[in-house]
Amino acid sequence: MISGVYTLRELEEAIASAADNWRPIVFTNGCFDILHCGHVRYLQAAKKLGRTLVVGLNSDESVQTIKPQQPGLPPRPIVPENQRAEVLAALKPVDAVVIFSEITATKLINILKPDIYVKGGDYQLETLPEAPAVIATGGKISLIEIEVLSSTSAIVQRILHLGA
């Protein structure tokens, strides 16, 4: 087992057995395929909102559904889920990583009941699929301003362009 990477059941049990050590929980989710400075700053800002930061990581299968292969680009994810989870768990602001295979993190939110749900400022509350679950479980939603405009897709395109 990789330190900081949990199954959903393990994480649920860890939180239940020591809630005071975990709460308030800040929760975010995403693919985190090729980590970049934008990811790091986002996670640092998220961590400041609570005691612990839990990251729901899209499985390889769900990434393939969310980000279907584009012509001329490699299939996503670039980095396999276990490696993405290990790298995320090693980051200072991240306290726990849990891999999930659904398209949205609604199931995780319903089970973990985070106190604060965080997404990047490029999202809107009205179109955030997890918003109803967060509100129903008594959590708050915070949209964090994007400090560094970067994306895995842009990095991949730049690499491919340089190689051409």
Q: Give the span between the Cα atoms of 102 and 147, in whole angstroms.
A: 28
Q: What is the pLDDT of residue 164?
A: 56
Q: Give the span between the Cα atoms of 152 and 156, in whole angstroms.
A: 6
Residue 23 confidence (pLDDT) above 60:
yes
Q: Give the span between the Cα atoms of 6 and 75, in whole angstroms.
A: 26
Q: What is the mean pLDDT of residues 138-148?
A: 88
Residue 122 confidence (pLDDT) above 80:
yes
Residues 57-114 have pLDDT tens digits of: 999 999 999 999 988 888 999 999 999 999 999 999 999 999 999 999 999 999 999 9
Instruction: Tell me how far the alpha carbon of residue 44 is from its chain's centroid.
Output: 13
Q: For the ranges 7-11, 15-19, 120-124, 139-143, which has the lowest average pLDDT?
A: 120-124
Say which amino acid occupies 142: S
Can you give the three-state secondary structure of the chain, one letter per residue?
A: CCCCEECHHHHHHHHHHCHHHHCCEEEEEECCCCCCHHHHHHHHHHHCCCCEEEEEEECHHHHHHHCCCCCCCCCCCCCCHHHHHHHHHHCCCCCEEEEECCCCCHHHHHHHCCCEEEEECCCCHHHCCCHHHHHHCCCEEEEECCCCCCCHHHHHHHHHHHHC
Beta bridge partners of 71: none
Spatial contact of 130 and 109, defined as CB atoms under 8 Å apart: yes
Q: What is the pLDDT of residue 158?
A: 79
Report how far apart the first and last C-alpha atoms of the chain are (Å, whole number): 40
